[in-house]
């Protein structure tokens, strides 16, 4: 069975799926054709139904209701791993009554968390996630929400933290933050979903046991090429929730769904 799958080029995704891509594990009857795109594009691509499996924001999954079922593994969820809201000059930002804020996509969890933290911000500009830091430095926007490797490098670029949005979510909810999930198209049976879940888990197990072997492949796709940053990225975003979201993760997803409904009524 040939499956088209779309993921991001970020280290956590290439770590999780690297063993599948490189043929390191037995995938049985399932064969994979991979496409890479940033999270905003992935969210948009989910509407076409052209991919059998696709990475998407949990916010997009819950609010846009694309024709996919979220698998219980392979995604991104956790504590203190959410997007960061940053600026180039904190004092200047605090004096700005109408800041223009860069976000990595309208239907991203990052945008949802910004609204959860500061619902009165009105002026926003969608910018590809790996260009937001430069856009802040170049004064194209007054502040921005950074994701992925940006949380490890923003201080080196002279940017200052306004708020850790994942930490703010945890303070208010006491729950992990659901960032992104792997969706499998609803045209597939529960049997296929169970089989693919097991394959992804085997891939994670292989990656954890052979990280050094996978590193050249991960580096090839990473936006930030420093190996220490890549390893920190993987350590943060690949955790026990990646292997199985369990009850704690399901409750967090339910909480996000309730908050999305509340925001829609405001």
Same domain, 16 and 72: yes
217 neighbors 21 (Cβ within 8 angstroms):
yes
14 neighbors 236 (Cβ within 8 angstroms):
no
Using the 3D structure, point to which of 173, 208, 226 is the last residue of a domain.
Answer: 173
pLDDT value at position 102?
97
Using the 3D structure, point to which of 157, 173, 189 is the last residue of a domain.
Answer: 173
Rounded to an integer, what distance in angstroms lies between the CA atom of residue 240 and that of residue 43?
24
- 183: domain CATH number? 3.40.190.10
Which two structure tokens, joined as six digits, stand for 179? 């960032």
Quote the pTM value.
0.91
Same domain, 156 and 104: yes
Task: Look at the chain and report how many structural domains it folds into.
Answer: 2
Same domain, 93 and 163: yes
Q: What is the pLDDT of residues 79-101, one digit of tens each?
A: 988 999 999 999 999 999 999 99
Active centre residues (catalytic): 148
Q: State how far Cα 205 lies from the chain centre.
A: 20
Q: What's the sign of the alpha-carbon dihedral 147, 148, 152, 155?
A: negative
Q: Judge whether residue 149 has pLDDT over 80.
A: no
Same domain, 21 and 70: yes
Burial 125-147 (b: 16+ CB within 10 A, else e): eebebbebbebbeeeebbbbbbb
- Domain residues for 111? 84-173
Using the 3D structure, point to which of 117, 152, 173 is the last residue of a domain.
Answer: 173
Same domain, 14 and 144: no
pLDDT value at position 49?
87
pLDDT value at position 237?
94
Q: What is the pLDDT of residues 5-29, one digit of tens each?
A: 999 999 999 999 999 999 999 999 9
Rounded to an integer, what distance in angstroms lies between the CA atom of residue 202 and that of residue 224?
27
pLDDT value at position 263?
82
pLDDT value at position 223?
67
Q: Judge whether residue 129 has pLDDT over 90.
A: no
The DSSP line for 147-180 is -TTHHHHTGGGT-EEEEEHHHHHHHHHSS-EEEE
Nearest to 108 by CA among 85, 78, 83: 83
Q: State how far Cα 172 lies from the chain centre.
A: 21
Task: Give Cα separations from 95 to 42, 92, 98, 99, 103 (angstroms).
Answer: 36, 5, 9, 9, 20
Same domain, 42 and 165: no
Which residue, chain included where needed, has tokens 């850790």? 164
Same domain, 139 and 189: no
Average pLDDT of the residues in 238-258: 95
pLDDT value at position 266?
65
Rounded to an integer, what distance in angstroms lies between the CA atom of residue 207 and that of residue 209?
5
Same domain, 192 and 144: no
The proportion of the chain whose per-residue pLDDT surpasses 90, expressed as a percent, equals 86
pLDDT value at position 148?
81
Same domain, 155 and 235: no
| 3-state DSSP assignment of residue 28 | coil
Rounded to an integer, what distance in angstroms lies between the CA atom of residue 130 and that of residue 144?
11
Same domain, 59 and 188: yes
16 neighbors 238 (Cβ within 8 angstroms):
yes
């Amino acid at each position: 069975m040939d499956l088209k799958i779309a993921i991001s080029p970020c280290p956590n995704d290439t770590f999780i799926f690297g063993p599948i891509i490189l043929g390191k594990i037995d995938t049985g009857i399932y064969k994979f054709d991979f496409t890479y795109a940033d999270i905003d594009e992935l969210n948009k691509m989910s509407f076409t139904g052209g991919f059998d499996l696709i990475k998407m924001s949990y916010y997009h999954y819950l609010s846009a209701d694309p024709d996919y079922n979220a698998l219980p593994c392979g995604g991104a969820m956790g504590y203190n791993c959410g997007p960061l809201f940053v600026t180039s000059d904190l004092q200047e930002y605090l004096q700005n009554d109408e800041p223009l804020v860069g976000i990595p996509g309208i239907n991203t969890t990052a945008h949802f968390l910004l609204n959860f933290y500061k619902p009165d911000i009105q002026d926003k500009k969608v910018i590809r996630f790996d260009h937001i830091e430069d856009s802040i430095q170049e004064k194209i926007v007054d502040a921005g929400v950074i994701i992925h490797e940006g949380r490890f490098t923003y201080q080196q670029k002279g940017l200052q933290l306004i708020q850790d949005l994942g930490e703010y979510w945890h303070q208010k909810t006491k729950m992990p933050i659901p960032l992104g999930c792997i969706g499998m198209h609803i045209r597939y049976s529960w049997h296929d979903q169970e089989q693919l879940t097991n394959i992804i888990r085997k891939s994670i197990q292989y990656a954890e046991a052979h990280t050094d072997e996978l590193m050249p492949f991960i580096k090839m796709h990473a936006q930030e090429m420093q190996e220490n940053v890549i390893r920190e990225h993987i350590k943060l975003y690949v955790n026990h929730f990646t292997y199985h979201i369990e009850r704690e993760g399901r409750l967090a997803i339910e909480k996000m769904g309730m908050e999305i409904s509340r925001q829609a009524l405001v």
